């Protein structure tokens, strides 16, 4: 296997990004974050990409956290720089126009949990473990965990995890909304790829619009968010893909979307 910090594989519009530090349980260091940020910038401009899958190398870990050995040598200024890099990387990942799917294949702790929170969909193997254990180190989450976690599972459940530092299994993670579904470890990637293929087969203009409207409206008042939806819905009627999709439905045939 390559020693690159991030592996990139492409297959018919689906890009798989694999954090590649299995000996360190895929802990996030500057090299991983910079590689991920650079690849995300490339993907953002690639209209041929329909979905992105994010996972970790090896059988034990998605991402077990940020690299504590590196952080232990930091002072406040270096820590702020590291946190800013983490935020910028995860913000860019979250802002990708196409859906991003996390395939959590083991430990998903600290920075790894924060990484999953920047994804649109999260699926987990039955051996997955989630948590924000930073308080056990005398720290708090630094890559958005105090904020994104509350927005995903609610403020009180987020407080339970962040303040206790406790680790939870895949089934509890599913129950509180940290992941959509749990699969046997050996089936995880196959299941995630199938879901990515399902998304890739949909109208790409519509998929991007749906993601954008959801992201834009989630923190807006409901009336404002519904206005965003109405505008996007109406705008799609000017696209080739909407005409093709409705025409195909009426003709009882598969749609041939052209991303326009």
For the chain, the straight-line distance linking the first and the last C-alpha, in angstroms and rounded, comes to 38
Q: How many CB atoms lie within 10 A of CB 250?
A: 8
Cα distances from 31 to residues 8, 17, 69, 71, in angstroms, run 15, 14, 14, 14
> Known catalytic residue: 73?
no
What backbone torsions phi and psi does residue 183 show, to the nearest 5 degrees? -125, 155
Q: How many CB atoms lie within 10 A of CB 63?
A: 29
Annotated catalytic residue within 12, 73, 114, 181 = 114
Annotated catalytic residue within 59, 134, 231, 244 = 134
CA-based nearest residue to 206, from 252, 251, 148, 255: 255
DSSP string, 82-101: HHHHHHHHHHHHHT-SS-EE
CA-based nearest residue to 119, from 178, 183, 77, 33: 178
> Known catalytic residue: 114?
yes
Catalytic positions, written as ranges: 114, 134
């Amino acid at each position: 296997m390559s020693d690159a910090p991030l592996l990139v594989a492409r297959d018919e519009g689906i890009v798989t990004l694999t954090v590649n530090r299995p000996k360190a349980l895929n802990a996030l260091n500057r090299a991983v974050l910079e590689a991920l940020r650079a690849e995300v910038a490339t993907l953002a401009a690639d209209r041929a990409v329909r979905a992105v899958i994010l996972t970790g190398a090896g059988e034990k870990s998605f991402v077990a956290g940020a690299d504590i050995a590196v952080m232990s040598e930091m002072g406040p200024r270096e820590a702020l720089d590291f946190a800013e890099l983490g935020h910028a990387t995860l913000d860019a990942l979250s802002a990708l126009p196409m859906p991003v799917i996390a395939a959590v294949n083991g430990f998903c702790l600290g920075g790894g949990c924060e990484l999953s929170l920047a994804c649109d969909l999260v699926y987990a193997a039955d051996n997955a473990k989630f948590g924000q254990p930073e308080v056990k180190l005398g720290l708090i989450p630094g890559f958005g965990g105090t904020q994104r976690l509350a927005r995903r599972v609610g403020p009180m459940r987020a407080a339970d995890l962040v303040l206790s530092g406790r680790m939870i299994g895949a089934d509890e993670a599913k129950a509180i909304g940290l992941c959509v579904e749990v699969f046997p470890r050996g089936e995880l990637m196959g299941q995630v790829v199938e879901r990515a293929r399902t998304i890739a087969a949909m109208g790409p203009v519509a998929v991007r619009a749906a993601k954008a409207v959801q992201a834009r409206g989630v923190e807006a008042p409901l009336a404002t968010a519904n206005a965003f939806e109405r505008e996007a819905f109406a705008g799609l009627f000017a696209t080739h893909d909407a005409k093709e999709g409705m025409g195909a439905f009426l003709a009882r045939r598969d749609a041939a979307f052209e991303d326009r």
